[in-house]
Chain A
Amino acid sequence: MPAVSTPALPPVEVFESGDAALRVVASSADREANWATVHALAEWLDAAGADGVHGAVPTYDSLLVEFDPGVTSARQVRAFVLLGLRQLEFTGAPARAPREFSVPVVYGGEYGPDLERVAEQQQLSVEEIITLHTAKSYVIRCLGAPAGSPMMDGPDFPLPVPRLKDPRLSVPAGAVSVAGRQAVIAPAAAPGGWCVIGQTPLTVLDAAAEPLVPYVPGDVLRFHRIPPEDFATYAGRKLEAAR
């Protein structure tokens, strides 16, 4: 596969991924540039709305472009992706002010069954884990499974967090989890192998709304601690941007 090199954008490669998808990978050493490029390209593809292109799924350094092989083809979509990259090179990635979300969390106990395990593994106290988790703002890098989960770079723990040996069959909606160097909130109940350290009482997923989740990649999220007795006070409220 030929690499397409441009001065303004990181080098991008396009790989076949079956007869109905392509994988586009930005492969520079600059992770931020890779991330910005695949997300800008996803937005460009969305806005362009080419015939037979279903949509694009951007993550960290890659983008999956899905299409209908009855209407278009891998060859045509590849050419279209390259056109998008040339456009972006000319116009630059669109700038959009990130919105901020504030997320109340009850840590530990029944709400965060893995909190003590994570503390032990990190050789820190439970309080130190909570302090680190609430200490910074997180950029939402992409929407993941299940159901538009906000995938974020994790808190500044000393070590990566191992996944559970036996994944849970069901993790409740609102679960606040960490694994490896990543952090996430579960918008819907689903099986999960990440360590659950807390839970937010806010409703993240609204199946009656479009889009289903209120944030987009690039938005910023911050956790704050609430006592267990306040869980019910927040319950039923929706997660909304602070500004």
Chain B
Amino acid sequence: MNGSLVIQQPGNSVVTDLGRFRGPRFGLPVNGALDQFSARAANILAGNADNSPLLEITALDFRMRATTDILIAVTGTPLHLTVGGRECQQWEPVSVRAGETVALRRLDGGLRAYVAVHGSVHAPVLLGSCAPDTVVGFGLRLTEGTELRTFKSVPPIRQPYFDLPLFRLGLTRPEFHSTAVVDVTDGPDVDEFGGTADLLYSTEYTVSGRSNHIGLRLGGALPERQSTAEVLSRGVPVGAIEVPSREELLVLHRGRGVTAGYPVLAVVTSRSLDVLAQARPGHKITFRKTTVPEATAKHRAALRELETLRSTVGTVFSLLGVGGPPGPPRLAPAAGS
């Protein structure tokens, strides 16, 4: 049954997905959820496909009201979650009754939270993605009174079912600290920095307040380019670390301009881009060198955890009759056993 989510306090929130992967070919950044693991986990916990449109809420308090009974999941930064005034858990499916308010307050461990709704929400699409693009002025930024269409209603689920310890079956929730270690591989232009490249690994950097979805700016000792030859514009990957000024290191994130003319010193791994997505101004970052095969292995290990979660959630949902007609109980190991 169609319903809607009425935004009461938007804070800083958008509807997004995993990104516009065909965008770079046309000069558009990939954009999409900055913390990809948390976004995927939220959709999986809500019984959706990983790439379904969901809400990304950055830094500020957020409130919305549901017009029908729905099922949601909230992941990302630690925060205080209430539904109809009741305190609820993050990283678990949560029932919301028609008329109840969902409030996310005190987003303070990291920076970004994700709210997925079972059946997802309606959002306009550009090149196969609903991810906002601030440069072309595309996307759904939420304001007070915005009504987001929802597609599936789920009757309230009795809480005892969700006292099952779903997450002991595999999902390691990300940790949120004010100091973070970020894995990087050597960039294609590392040689241009000579011996100063090693400063990247011996320096503790501080996240600047001028950081955003395009890139994080980090203060600290800076590697210096040794050559002054002109660099032709070229495609730069998400995660590229550049030294464009004498003040700060620039780490490009998913909103980055697709081409640039600065040498790429190092590239943050896919897995550690999620860590940077949650870094707040003032947080400390240190970089650790890894290799592409190791980075790929870590990324795949995280995807396997999400697959385990998906199968657990699928089992529980089918027992509860969520996401389709209720079938006979399946012979699957009981959660937690």
Give A residues with C-beta under 8 Å from B. 15-21, 23, 42, 46, 54-64, 66, 68-70, 73-75, 142-149, 151, 180, 188, 190, 205, 207, 210-213
* A18: min CB distance to chain B, Å: 3
The answer to whether the Cβ of B258 comes within 8 Å of any Cβ in the partner chain is yes
Q: List residues of chain B with CB within 8 A of the CB of A210.
A: 127
* A162: min CB distance to chain B, Å: 13
Give B residues with C-beta under 8 Å from A. 21-22, 24-30, 126-127, 133, 135-138, 185-188, 230, 232-240, 257-260, 264, 267-270, 292-293, 295-296, 299-300, 303
Q: Which residue of B lies closest to A19 (CB)?
A: B295
Q: Which residue of B lies closest to A68 (CB)?
A: B21
Q: Are B296 and A73 in contact, with the CB atoms below 8 A?
A: yes
Q: List residues of chain A with CB within 8 A of the CB of B137.
A: 188, 207
Q: Are B26 and A61 in contact, with the CB atoms below 8 A?
A: no
CA distance A62 to B136 in the complex (A): 25
8 contacts between A and B (CB under 8 A): A18-B239, A18-B269, A59-B234, A73-B296, A75-B293, A142-B233, A144-B259, A205-B136
CA distance A18 to B235 in the complex (A): 13
Q: Are B135 and A190 in contact, with the CB atoms below 8 A?
A: yes
Q: List residues of chain B with CB within 8 A of the CB of A148.
A: 26-28
Q: List residues of chain A with CB within 8 A of the CB of B186.
A: 16
Q: Are A212 and B26 in contact, with the CB atoms below 8 A?
A: yes
Q: List residues of chain A with CB within 8 A of the CB of B136.
A: 146-147, 188, 205, 207, 212
Q: List residues of chain A with CB within 8 A of the CB of B235.
A: 21, 23, 56-59, 62-64
Q: Which 10 A-B pairs have the closest CB atoms?
A: A64-B235, A145-B257, A18-B267, A57-B235, A148-B27, A21-B237, A15-B188, A19-B295, A143-B27, A55-B25
CA distance A144 to B257 in the complex (A): 8
* B36: min CB distance to chain A, Å: 10
- Knowing A16-B292, A142-B259, the reply to whether A59 touches B268 (Cβ < 8 A) is no
Q: List residues of chain A with CB within 8 A of the CB of B24.
A: 54-55, 57, 64, 66
CA distance A55 to B236 in the complex (A): 13
* B208: min CB distance to chain A, Å: 17
Q: Are A212 and B25 in contact, with the CB atoms below 8 A?
A: no
* B185: min CB distance to chain A, Å: 6
Contact of A70 among B27, B237, B300 (CB under 8 A): B300
Q: Are A70 and B303 in contact, with the CB atoms below 8 A?
A: yes
Q: Are A59 and B232 in contact, with the CB atoms below 8 A?
A: yes
Q: Are B234 and A23 in contact, with the CB atoms below 8 A?
A: yes
- Knowing A59-B232, A207-B136, A212-B26, the reply to whether A19 touches B296 (Cβ < 8 A) is yes
Q: Are A64 and B25 in contact, with the CB atoms below 8 A?
A: no
Q: List residues of chain A with CB within 8 A of the CB of B267.
A: 17-19, 21
Contact of A69 among B259, B264, B300 (CB under 8 A): B300
Q: List residues of chain B with CB within 8 A of the CB of A147.
A: 27-28, 133, 135-136
Q: Which residue of A lies closest to B230 (CB)?
A: A180
Q: Which residue of B lies closest to A211 (CB)?
A: B26
A17, A19, A149, most chain B CB atoms within 10 A:
A19
Q: Are A18 and B268 in contact, with the CB atoms below 8 A?
A: yes
- Knowing A145-B257, A146-B257, A148-B26, the reply to whether A16 touches B185 (Cβ < 8 A) is yes
Contact of B233 among A15, A21, A59, A75 (CB under 8 A): A59
- Give me 17 other A-B pairs in contact (C-beta within 8 A), A21-B238, A56-B235, A57-B258 excluded: A18-B187, A18-B292, A19-B269, A42-B25, A54-B21, A54-B22, A55-B21, A56-B25, A59-B234, A60-B233, A61-B232, A62-B232, A146-B135, A147-B136, A151-B259, A207-B126, A212-B26
CA distance A15 to B240 in the complex (A): 14
- Knowing A16-B292, A56-B25, the reply to whether A145 touches B258 (Cβ < 8 A) is yes
